[in-house]
Amino acid sequence: MKCRICSGNVREFFDLGPQPVSDAFLLPPARADEFFYRLRVGVCESCMMVQQAEEIPRQKMFHADYPYRSSGSALIRQHFAAVARRFLETELSGPDAFIVEIGSNDGVMLKTISQAGIRHLGVDPSGGAAEVSAECGVRVQVDFFDETTAGTILARDGQADVIYSANTVSHISYLDSVFRGVDKLLADNGVFVIEDRYLGDILEQTAFDQIYDEHFYLFSVRSVRALAQLHGLELSGVEHLPVHGGTIRYTISRPGRRAISPEIARLCALEPVDFAVFEGFARRAADIRDALTTLLTGLREQGRRVVGYGATAKSATILNYCGIGPDLIPCICDSTPGKQGRLTPGSHIPVLAAESFAAPYPDYALLFAWNHAEEIMAKEQEFKRRGGRWIMYVPEVHIV
Ligand code: SAH
Ligand code: TYD
Ligand code: ZN
Q: Is the pTM of this model over 0.95?
A: yes
Is the C-beta atom of 112 inside 6 A of ligand 2? no
How much is the pLDDT for 180?
Answer: 98
Q: Which atom of ligand 2 is nearest to the CA of 311?
A: 14
pLDDT interval class at 178 (50, 70, 90)? very high
Determine the distance separating the centroid of ligand 2 and the alpha carbon of 73, expressed in angstroms. Answer: 7
What's the 3-state SS for the chain? CECCCCCCEEEEEEEEEEECCCCCCECCCCCCCCCCEEEEEEEECCCCCEEECCCCCHHHHCCCCCCCCHHHCHHHHHHHHHHHHHHHHCCCCCCCCEEEEECCCCCCCHHHHHHCCCEEEEECCCHHHHHHHHHCCCCEECCCCCHHHHHHHHHHHCCEEEEEEECCHHHCCCHHHHHHHHHHHEEEEEEEEEEEEEHHHHHHHCCHHHCCCCCCEEECHHHHHHHHHHCCCEEEEEEEECHHHCEEEEEEECCCCCCCCHHHHHHHHHCCCCHHHHHHHHHHHHHHHHHHHHHHHHHHHCCCCEEEECCCHHHHHHHHHHCCCCCCCCCEEECCCCCCCCECCCCCCEEEEHHHHHCCCCCEEEECCHHHHHHHHHHCHHHHHCCCEEEECCCCCEEC
How much is the pLDDT for 384?
Answer: 97
How much is the pLDDT for 31?
Answer: 86
| Mean pLDDT estimate for the chain | 98
Digit-coded pLDDT (tens) for 111-147: 999 999 999 999 999 999 999 999 999 999 999 999 9
Closest ligand to the CA of 106: 1
The arithmetic mean of pLDDT across residues 330-336, rounded, is 98
Which of 307, 312, 368, 371 best tests ligand 2's pocket when mutated (most atoms within 8 Å of CB)? 312
Determine the distance separating the centroid of ligand 2 and the alpha carbon of 167, expressed in angstroms. Answer: 14
Digit-coded pLDDT (tens) for 55-84: 999 999 999 999 999 999 999 999 999 999
How much is the pLDDT for 132?
Answer: 98
Is the C-beta atom of 210 inside 6 A of ligand 2? no
Q: Which atom of ligand 1 is nearest to the CA of 66?
A: 15
How much is the pLDDT for 13?
Answer: 98
Contact 155, 184 (CB under 8 A): no
Determine the distance separating the centroid of ligand 3 and the alpha carbon of 249, expressed in angstroms. Answer: 21
Digit-coded pLDDT (tens) for 336-362: 999 999 999 999 999 999 999 999 999
Is the C-beta atom of 372 inside 6 A of ligand 2? yes
Digit-coded pLDDT (tens) for 181-239: 999 999 999 999 999 999 999 999 999 999 999 999 999 999 999 999 999 999 999 99
Q: Which atom of ligand 1 is nearest to the CA of 145?
A: 23
Ligand 3 ion: nearby residues, β-carbon < 5 Å: 3, 5-6, 8, 44, 46-47, 49
pLDDT of 21 higher than 90: yes
The arithmetic mean of pLDDT across residues 309-316, rounded, is 98
Digit-coded pLDDT (tens) for 9-20: 999 999 999 999
Is the C-beta atom of 361 inside 6 A of ligand 1? no
Determine the distance separating the centroid of ligand 2 and the alpha carbon of 171, expressed in angstroms. Answer: 18
Is the C-beta atom of 105 inside 6 A of ligand 1? yes
The arithmetic mean of pLDDT across residues 259-286, rounded, is 98
How large a percentage of the chain has pLDDT more than 90? Answer: 99
